Amino acid sequence: MDDAQNVTLPTIAMLGAGSMGRAILSGLLAPGVQVAGIRVTNRSAARAATLAGAPGVTAYATETRADANRLAVEGAQVVLVAVKPAMVRDLLAEISDSLAPGTVVVSVAAGVTAATMESLLPDSISVVRAMPNTPAVVGKAVTGVSAGSRTEPEDLSLVRTLFETVGEVVEVPESQLDALSTISGSGPAYVFLLIEALTEAAVQKGFTPAQAATLVNGTFLGAAELLVSSGEEPAELRRRVTSPNGTTERAIAVLAEADLPALFARATDAALARARALAAG
């Protein structure tokens, strides 16, 4: 999110404060974001005490208050469910009768469908599924959001605004959310794998690990920033680096033999099959 942009959000309850929950919380606490109130629940009392140190945040620990989740959601307009997928059903059953009519429940748990969540909540509750990725930690997430059957346009707009505090948002039908997870959700791992491989190639050519990291990490970062700032297509930027009969052209020819488009198609197909298997239970 642009720090110069002013964003106003209603009271938000965040159930679960793992790495993704904390990343989203950092976005809500960013300059220019005004939230009516933030309630966070976590199992650990020690972690809750740490979270409560942030301005505007009230934190509860389930290990010391059995009603922590119900207390957090009372009066909240948005409830963000950030627990592990296996815990979602029990959590929704627990808070169901504490939700005010019109509350928007947002889940970042993979594999738990909107229909499943709706079946566990009153008819007056709107459900949205969201799939952020790990760059949310540095405010550079790409988040897919999908509406449930009871979601009004203003509900989806509110959720979009929430996730724009940690990056960009793409609205997709729920039928595409698993496919989205294989691209943006798993995507950082693909990038890190490429960085690992190129770093190892640099070490093999005699550079120290520190030098290799500087060369490769800086190149990936610079290339990504060039892509964003130039507005050009990646294929065009690649052509500009690849002089005819030059060194880069020889390297690209070797990579082309591996048929990277087909390789990535197979990889993302495998991830999609696994996502569907997990969703089926």
**Is 60 exceeded by the pLDDT of residue 128?**
yes
pLDDT in tens, 5-39: 689 999 999 999 988 999 999 999 999 999 999 99
pLDDT in tens, 36-67: 999 999 998 888 888 888 889 999 999 999 99
**Is 90 exceeded by the pLDDT of residue 255?**
yes
pLDDT of residue 170: 98
pLDDT in tens, 87-108: 999 999 999 999 999 999 999 9
Q: How far apart are CA 197 and CA 18, in angstroms?
A: 29
Share of the chain above pLDDT 70, in %: 98
- Work out the angle at residue 72's Cα, subtended by the Cα atoms of residues 70 and 78, and round it to the nearest 5 degrees: 105
- pLDDT band, residue 81 (cuts 50/70/90): very high
Average pLDDT over the chain, rounded to an integer:
94
pLDDT of residue 2: 53
**Is 60 exceeded by the pLDDT of residue 3?**
no
Q: Which residue has the tokens 């950030």?
A: 82
Contacts of 101 (CB under 8 A, 6+ apart): 122, 124, 125
pLDDT of residue 4: 45
Q: Which residue has the tokens 């060369």?
A: 215
Sheet holding 167-171, edge to edge: 57-61, 38-42, 12-15, 78-81, 104-107, 126-131, 141-147, 167-171
